[in-house]
C-alpha cells in the first residue's frame, strides 16, 4: 500500500487536558476511519476501512517532525506536555510503523501513551511495539464473545479469547502503566458481564486503573445512548469489589478529581462524584469536615446536579451525567477552532 498523502491530515493535535494523562499532545497515525472494530458508540464516525492488516500509513519521520514542531510551539507558550498520545481516528496498532514512531518520539523526552482497542495484541509484533510505550490503555467493553460482537462489532477474523489472552500476555511483560476502559451504553442487557469483566481484569498483572466510561459525544449509531447512572454505579461497585475502589474511576465527561478540596463544598462534591460514587456515610463525613449540612445535598439533588442511587441496601451519590451535545454543536466548535488555526 502507498504511504498516505499528507495533505489535509493533522498528524498531531493539542495539547489537550486529560484526567488520565494530564496535558496530552495527540498523535493521529491512522487515516480516518481505519479500524478493526466498528463500535456502535464510536465517536469518530463509521468505520470506512475495516481491517486487521497492519499497514504503512504515514512516514514515521513526518509524524516525528510534526510532533516535534508542536512540542517546540507549546514550549514557546510555556505550555507543559505530559504525554505524547497515540489516539487516532482509528486503531493505532494497525500502523506497522508504530514501534518505529515510538522509538523516534522517545528522543523528545516526553512519556508516550497509546490508547488501543487491543484487538491485535495477540500478535507478537504489536505487543513488541506497545512494550516501548510508557502508558497503554486497553479497551475491555465485554469479555463474552456475543456481547463483545454486539458492542464492538469486530472484524470477522477476530476472536475475543485470543485478544484476552494477548492482553494477559502483554500485561506480564509491560513495565509501564496499564489501564483499562469499559464503555457502557444503554439498552444492553449486561447480565453478569461486569462480574466476568472484573474477573478478567483482576488477573491482569500491573493493571493500574479501571475506567468505567460512557460515550460523551454523539455516537455513530443513533440508537446508542450512554448507560444510565444506575448501571454505571453497578459496574463501579462490582469492579470495586474485585479490584479495590481506589483502582476504579468514572470517565463520564467531567474532569473530576477524587481528592478535590477547595473548601467550596458543592464544587468539591461534584468533582469527587464525577470520579466515583460516594456512599451516604462518606458524604456525611465529608460535610462534617467541611462544616456543612445535608441541605447541600438536597440542593444538588433538587438542581439535578447529583443523583441518588441504591445498591445492596446502601445509598450512593453520583454526579448527574452530562447531556449529549448535538453533532451541530461539535461541528460549530470544529469550525471555529479551524478558523482560529487558520488565523494563527
Ligand atoms: S475501536 Fe475506537 S476507533 Fe475503532 S470503532 Fe471502536 S471506538 Fe471507534
Q: Per-residue confidence at 31, pLDDT binned at 50, 70, 90?
A: very high
How many angstroms separate the Cα of 320 from the Cα of each of 54, 104, 289, 300, 301?
A: 41, 43, 24, 10, 9
Q: How far is the CA of 164 from the centre of ligand 1 (A)?
A: 17
Work out the average pLDDT over 141-146: 98
Q: How far is the CA of 189 from the centre of ligand 1 (A)?
A: 21
Q: How far is the CA of 78 from the centre of ligand 1 (A)?
A: 33
Residue to substitute in 36, 37, 114 for testing ligand 1 pocket (most ligand atoms within 8 angstroms of CB): 37
DSSP of 125-153, one letter per residue?
A: HHHHHHHT-SEEEEE-S-SSHHHHHHHH-
Is 70 exceeded by the pLDDT of residue 2? no
What does the alpha-carbon distance between residue 70 and residue 65 come to, in Å, rounded to a whole number? 9
Is 70 exceeded by the pLDDT of residue 206? yes
Q: How far is the CA of 42 from the centre of ligand 1 (A)?
A: 5
Give phi and psi for 207, each to the nearest 5. -70, 120
Prior bond of 15 cis (ω within 30°): yes
- Summary mean pLDDT of the chain: 91
Protein residue with least CA distance to atom 8, ligand 1: 42
Between 53-62, 228-237, 241-250, 255-264, the lowest mean confidence (pLDDT) is in 255-264
Is 60 exceeded by the pLDDT of residue 287? yes
Work out the average pLDDT over 257-274: 88
Protein residue with least CA distance to atom 3, ligand 1: 90
Do residues 210 and 285 touch, judged by C-beta distance below 8 A?
A: no
How many angstroms separate the Cα of 258 from the Cα of each of 20, 236, 247, 271, 333?
A: 12, 14, 11, 7, 29
**pLDDT of the residue at 339:** 47
**Which residues, in sequence order, are CB contacts of 145 under 8 Å at separation 6+?**
159, 160, 161
Ligand 1 binding pocket (C-beta < 6 A) is: 35, 37-39, 42, 44, 47, 90-91, 117
Using the atom order of ligand 1, give the atom closest to the CA of residue 38.
5
Amino acid at each position: 500500500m502507498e504511504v498516505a498523502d499528507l495533505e489535509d491530515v493533522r498528524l498531531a493535535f493539542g495539547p489537550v487536558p486529560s484526567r488520565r494523562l494530564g496535558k496530552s499532545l495527540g498523535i493521529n497515525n491512522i487515516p480516518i476511519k481505519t479500524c478493526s472494530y466498528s463500535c456502535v458508540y464510536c465517536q469518530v464516525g463509521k468505520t470506512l476501512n475495516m481491517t486487521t492488516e497492519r499497514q504503512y500509513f504515514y512516514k514515521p519521520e513526518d509524524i516525528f517532525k510534526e510532533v516535534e514542531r508542536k512540542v517546540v510551539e507549546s514550549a514557546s507558550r510555556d505550555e507543559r506536555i505530559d504525554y505524547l498520545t497515540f489516539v487516532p481516528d482509528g486503531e493505532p496498532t494497525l500502523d506497522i510503523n508504530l514501534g518505529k514512531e515510538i522509538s523516534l518520539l522517545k528522543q523528545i523526552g516526553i512519556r508516550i501513551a497509546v490508547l488501543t482497542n487491543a484487538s491485535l495484541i495477540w500478535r507478537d509484533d504489536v505487543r513488541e511495539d506497545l512494550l516501548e510505550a510508557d502508558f497503554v490503555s486497553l479497551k475491555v467493553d465485554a469479555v463474552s464473545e456475543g456481547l463483545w460482537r454486539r458492542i464492538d462489532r469486530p472484524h470477522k477474523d477476530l476472536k475475543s479469547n485470543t485478544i484476552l489472552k494477548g492482553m494477559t500476555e502483554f500485561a506480564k511483560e509491560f513495565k509501564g502503566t496499564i489501564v483499562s476502559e469499559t464503555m457502557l451504553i444503554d439498552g444492553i442487557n449486561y447480565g453478569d458481564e461486569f462480574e466476568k469483566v472484573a474477573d478478567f481484569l483482576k488477573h491482569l498483572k500491573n493493571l493500574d486503573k479501571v475506567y468505567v466510561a460512557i460515550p460523551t459525544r454523539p455516537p455513530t449509531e443513533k440508537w446508542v445512548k450512554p448507560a444510565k447512572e444506575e448501571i454505571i454505579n453497578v459496574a463501579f461497585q462490582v469492579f470495586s469489589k474485585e479490584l479495590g475502589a481506589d483502582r476504579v474511576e468514572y470517565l463520564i465527561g467531567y474532569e473530576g478529581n477524587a481528592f478535590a478540596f477547595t473548601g467550596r463544598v458543592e464544587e468539591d462534591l461534584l468533582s469527587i462524584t464525577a470520579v466515583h460514587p460516594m456512599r451516604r456515610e462518606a458524604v456525611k463525613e465529608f460535610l462534617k469536615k467541611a462544616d456543612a449540612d445535608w441541605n447541600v445535598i438536597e440542593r444538588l439533588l433538587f438542581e439535578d446536579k447529583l443523583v441518588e442511587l441504591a445498591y445492596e441496601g446502601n445509598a450512593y451519590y453520583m454526579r448527574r451525567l452530562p447531556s449529549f451535545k448535538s453533532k451541530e454543536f461539535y461541528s460549530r466548535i470544529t469550525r471555529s477552532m479551524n478558523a482560529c488555526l487558520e488565523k494563527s
